[in-house]
Amino acid sequence: MLETRPATANDAALITDHRKAMFLAMGRSRDSVLDSMSSHFEPWVTRMIIEGKYTGWVMEDTSQSPPRPIASAGLLVLDWPPHPLDPEGEHRGYILNVFVDESHRRQGLAHSLIDRCLAEARRRRIHVVALHSSDAARPIYEIFGFRSTNEMFYVDQPES
């Protein structure tokens, strides 16, 4: 049986592990980069959960003892200026860390977690929610109405 519960600051290590596994599954980075990211991400996500800026969920297989976490996702609330897409809003949502263990994929778990993220955004009266998607996950997000935008990206790479 699967149960979904709110993430707490005590879940920071688990969320960090899921984040690293997500990037590994996408083939996006080397282990050394992901290890560095993880060592900085865990205290960050702990702080964001405590401050109420990151709301997450953990899905567990409760047929195992102890229950085994198999999926997770989060909604980050960002300060954002009023914009034509939301002329009165001062916040934007960002969905991140959507991860489902390989043995439980294609069962609608990511869909369920995204639905929770969007429900939380609605509860907070956040009208614009963004995310970055892998090619494989794009069809899931499109079901919810996500679409590609004109966003561009700049990354300042420090010299080695």
Least confident piece of the model among 36-50, 52-66, 105-119, 138-152: 138-152
Helix/strand/coil for 6:
strand
Going from the N-terminus, what domains does the chain have, and what CATH number goes with each?
2-143 (3.40.630.30)
Structure tokens at 48: 């964001």
Greater pLDDT, 27 or 117: 117
Q: Residue 152: pLDDT band by 50, 70, 90 thresholds? A: confident
Residue 28 has pLDDT above 90, yes or no: no
Distance CA 127, CA 90 (A): 10
For the question of whether the overall pTM of this predicted structure is more than 0.85, the answer is yes
Among 155, 37, 156, which Cα is nearest to 96's?
A: 37
Q: Residue 159: pLDDT band by 50, 70, 90 thresholds? A: low
Q: What is the pLDDT of residue 129?
A: 96
Strand partners, 91: 79
Give backbone dihedrals phi and psi of 140, rounded to 5 degrees, phi first. Answer: -65, -45
Q: What is the 3-state secondary structure (H, E, C) of 46-82?
A: HHHHHCCCEEEEEEEECCCCCCEEEEEEEEEEEECCC
